[in-house]
Structure 1
Amino acid sequence: MHIEILVEDSSGEKLLESLLPKLLGMQGEPHSWRLHSYKGIGRIPKNLGRGADPAKRILLDQLPRLLQGYAKTPGIDAVVVVLDSDRRDRVEFLSELKLVAGRCNPTPNVLFRIAVEEVEAWYLGDREALTGAYPRAKADVLSRYVQDSVCGTWELLADAIHPGGSAAIKRAGWPLPGQKKHEWAERIGPLLEPDRNKSPSFAKFRDGMRRLILDQ
Structure 2
Amino acid sequence: MTQLVFMLEEPSAKILLDHLLPRVLPPNVSFLCIPHEGKQDLEKSIPIKLKSWNVPDSWFVVIRDKDQGDCVQLKQRLKQLCIDSHRPETLVRIVVHELESWFLGDLAAVGAAFDLPKLSGKQQSKKFRNPDALANAQEELKKLVKNYQKMAGARKISPHLSLEANTSLSFQNMLSGLQTYLAQIETA
Distance 1:95 1:89 in 2: 10
Letter of the 1:206 partner, please give it.
Answer: L
Please point out which of 142, 150, 162 is paired with 1:193: 162
CA shift in 2, pair 1:36/1:107, >3 Å: closer
Distance 2:59 2:142 in 1: 34
**Aligned-partner SS, 1:195:** coil
Letter of the 1:131 partner, please give it.
Answer: G
Distance 2:102 2:52 in 1: 30
Cα shift at 1:69: 2.1
Distance 1:108 1:68 in 2: 11
Distance 2:45 2:76 in 1: 18
Question: Aligned runs of 1:120-135 on 2, under 5 Å?
Answer: 120-135=100-115
CA shift in 2, pair 1:195/1:12, >3 Å: same
CA contact (8 A) 2:101 2:134 kept: no
Map of 2:93 onto structure 1:
113
Cα shift at 1:99: 1.2
Letter of the 1:17 partner, please give it.
Answer: D
Please point out which of 93, 109, 121 is paired with 2:74: 93
Letter of the 1:200 partner, please give it.
Answer: L
CA distances 1:43-76 after superposition (whole Å, capped 9, x unpaired): xxxxxxxxxxxxxxx1112222222223xx2414
Cα shift at 1:205: 0.6
Equivalences, count: 180
Map of 2:133 onto structure 1:
149
Select the structure that is richer in helix: 2
Distance 1:108 1:3 in 2: 15
Identity of aligned residues (%): 27
CA distances 1:135-178 after superposition (whole Å, capped 9, x unpaired): 33785987434420142110111111115x7xxxxxxxxxxxxx
Alignment root-mean-square deviation, CA: 2.1
Q: TM-score, normalised to structure 2's length?
A: 0.87
Map of 1:47 onto structure 2:
none
CA contact (8 A) 1:4 1:76 kept: no
Gaps of 5+ in 1: 43-57, 166-179
CA contact (8 A) 1:141 1:160 kept: no
Distance 2:45 2:29 in 1: 26
1:63 aligns with 2:30: no
Map of 1:170 onto structure 2:
none
CA shift in 2, pair 1:17/1:90, >3 Å: same
Gaps of 5+ in 2: none
**Which region of structure 1 is more displaced relative to structure 2, 2-11 or 136-145?**
136-145
Question: Aligned runs of 1:161-176 on 2, under 5 Å?
Answer: 161-163=145-147
